[in-house]
Amino acid sequence: MTAKSPDLASSYEILFILAGSLRDSETKKELEKWEDELSKFAKILKKANWGRRELAYKITGETTGTYFVAHFEANGAQIAEFDNSLRLDPKVIRHLIAKTPKNYEWVEYSGEDLEHDFTKLESVIAAKEEKNAKKGFGKKVFVRKGIVKKVERRVEKKADSGVINKKLDDILADL
């Protein structure tokens, strides 16, 4: 088995969120700064500024943030240094760098595409809810097959014990 050459580039994707409290001019400067830092050691294949969005929960007191995502090729040793730089910058409230698989493909969605995906997801959820309703489960319940089998076995045991209890009652009544 041969070791990988250290100069071979791998494919990565980065997402980082800048603090929402920054002014637009500061945000633009920060985005340019990090893009320049990244381009010093990496070949940027695709990039996208997702703009300012509301966060799901507060991060360091921030309720909004500006999202930036990029797909690039770089040497793994340089990634660690860049990751550390992002971690130390207080204006970057979250970041994630992930190695992408060999057959990774960057897909850009339009508003229409996203609406279509949500419609498809809603139909999948509705189908699961209907399936669960037929099995006697309540709405919005998602269970694994193993759990369903355990529940079915418990119901059968209770039914069997009910039959046995009825027979015992009949025997006792005859005495």
**DSSP characters over 61-122:** TEEEEEEEEEEEEE-HHHHHHHHHHHHH-TTEEEEEEEEPPTT-------HHHHHHHHHHHH
**Is 5 domain-assigned?**
no
Residue 96 and residue 14 share a domain = yes
Residue 46 and residue 122 share a domain = no
Segment 15-57, tens digit of pLDDT: 999 999 999 999 999 999 999 999 999 999 999 888 898 888 8
**Is 157 domain-assigned?**
yes
Q: Which positions ≥6 away from 133 have C-beta within 8 Å?
A: 139
Q: How far is Cα 164 from Cα 118, in angstroms, rounded to an integer? A: 51
Residue 55 and residue 80 share a domain = yes
Q: How far is Cα 79 from Cα 96, in angstroms, rounded to an integer? A: 11
Segment 132-157, tens digit of pLDDT: 777 765 544 444 445 555 555 555 55
**Is 79 domain-assigned?**
yes
Pick from 113, 129, 162: which residue ends a domain?
Answer: 113
- Residue among 59, 61, 73 nearest 16 (CA): 59
- Residue among 110, 103, 31, 27 nearest 64 (CA): 27
Q: How far is Cα 12 from Cα 102, in angstroms, rounded to an integer? A: 10
Output the pLDDT for position 143: 46
Q: Which domain holds residue 167?
A: 117-174
Residue 69 and residue 30 share a domain = yes
Segment 70-112, tens digit of pLDDT: 999 998 888 888 999 999 999 999 999 999 888 888 777 665 5
Higher pLDDT, 166 or 57: 57
- Check if the beta carbon of residue 94 is closer than 8 Å to that of residue 17: yes
Residue 104 and residue 78 share a domain = yes
Residue 109 and residue 25 share a domain = yes
**Which amino acid appears at position 155 of this protein?**
V
pTM metric for this prediction: 0.59
Q: Name the burial class of residue 81, with classes exposed (0-12), middle (13-18) and buried (19+) by CB atoms within 10 angstroms of its CB.
A: exposed
Residue 42 and residue 99 share a domain = yes
Pick from 63, 98, 113: which residue ends a domain?
Answer: 113
**Is 32 domain-assigned?**
yes
Output the pLDDT for position 140: 45
Residue 83 and residue 157 share a domain = no
| CATH number of the domain to which 85 belongs | 3.30.70.60
Residue 35 and residue 89 share a domain = yes
